[in-house]
């Protein structure tokens, strides 16, 4: 498959709007035993920063199925990783 095409996916919301997201990165956590995906629609928040989202996903599935992140531990893991990436890019 085309690598560039695999960086994007679309979701149809409850109102029937189609939203395209770009996958920023994926990672597996030995700590939780889950796979995570971090993505964006390139919208901006109040401070002008790009809004990012994260979810749990099944990397072995043929269809991308996102699941909610359920614990504070998981959110802390993702936030720490995002902070590390941001610091490294400065």
Query: Number of folded domains in the chain?
Result: 1
- 3 state SS of 39: strand
Alpha-carbon dihedral sign for residues 90, 42, 6, 65: positive
Q: pLDDT digit string (tens) for 41-59?
A: 999 999 998 899 999 998 7
Q: What is the pLDDT of residue 51?
A: 92
What's the gap between Cα 64 and its chain centre?
A: 12
Q: Answer yes or no: are the C-beta atoms of 24 and 2 closer than 8 Å.
A: no
Which residues are paired to 44 by β-bridges?
50
Q: pLDDT digit string (tens) for 16-44?
A: 999 999 999 999 999 899 999 999 999 99
Confidence of residue 83 (pLDDT cuts 50, 70, 90): confident
pTM tops 0.75: yes
What is the domain extent for residue 48? 5-89
């Amino acid at each position: 498959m085309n690598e560039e095409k695999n960086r994007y996916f679309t979701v149809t919301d409850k109102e029937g709007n189609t939203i395209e997201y770009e996958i920023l990165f994926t990672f597996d956590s030995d700590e939780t035993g889950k796979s995570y995906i971090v993505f964006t629609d390139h919208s901006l928040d109040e401070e002008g920063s790009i809004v990012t989202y994260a979810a749990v996903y099944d990397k072995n599935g043929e269809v991308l199925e996102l699941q909610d992140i359920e614990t504070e531990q998981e959110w802390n893991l993702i936030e720490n990783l995002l902070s590390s990436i941001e610091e490294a890019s400065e």
